[in-house]
Homo-oligomer: A and B are copies of this chain.
Amino acid sequence: MEDLKLSRKEREYLRHRQEILQVALKLFSERGFHNVSMHEIAQKSEFAVGTLYKFFSKKEDLYLALILEKAREFRSALTAALQTPGDEMKKIRTWLEAKIRLFMDSLDFVRLYVAETRGGSFNIKAGLDKEIKKNYEMTLKEIEALFASGIKKKLFAKFDPHLLAVALEGISNAFLFEHLEHPDKHWLDANLILEIFFQQVYTGGAHG
């Protein structure tokens, strides 16, 4: 984002910090917070344990920084996607496409993020929990607003917009998880998800 005007020292500091975070992300995403030791992060990132503590004062802080920074990145990318011009349907499509792309590009983070948002956030203490949840709620609110205005225009059927947002999140996440488990089986496709969500599934036996 805003690089420049950083001294060489500062850039190096940030690069080192990033390297640590990257190694930690890989490890945490594979085995979770408690099954990864600082010693291992140190070894894999080719720093000494003590050095890690120059960057992060506690193991928990390292983890926290990891999740929060990525989560903010995700959120801003998704919010940006909503700024696309077009009607509500178009915006939702763009948003979903962005979401799929983001997830596919950082599957390891997704696992961790999911564990945090959905898994009762056992792994770490409060604080993280709070911001992550708020983050999620805000995304939900944005989608909700989109539905609300779409309903006003009679573009969408008249359901509670909040529930629609929850449902769309749910359905798209389900597909993403499915893909996480069986990457080869189905290709992730925004159109398919949107069709199932928006089209009529129950025909009641009408001639198909």
Contact = CB atoms under 8 A, between A and B. Distances in A.
A159 B201 contact: yes
Nearest to A204: B155
A32 B155 contact: no
A32 to B, nearest CB: 2
Interface in A107-141: 111-112, 114-115, 118-120, 122-123, 133
Interface stretch (A7-15, A77-85, A173-181): A173-181
Contact of A199 (B123, B157, B177, B205): B157
Given A118-B119, A156-B202, 11 more contacts: A32-B122, A111-B119, A112-B120, A115-B118, A118-B177, A158-B208, A163-B175, A166-B175, A167-B175, A170-B171, A170-B175
20 contacts: A32-B120, A32-B122, A33-B34, A35-B122, A112-B120, A114-B118, A118-B118, A122-B123, A133-B181, A153-B205, A154-B203, A155-B203, A156-B203, A157-B202, A159-B201, A163-B175, A163-B192, A170-B170, A170-B171, A199-B200
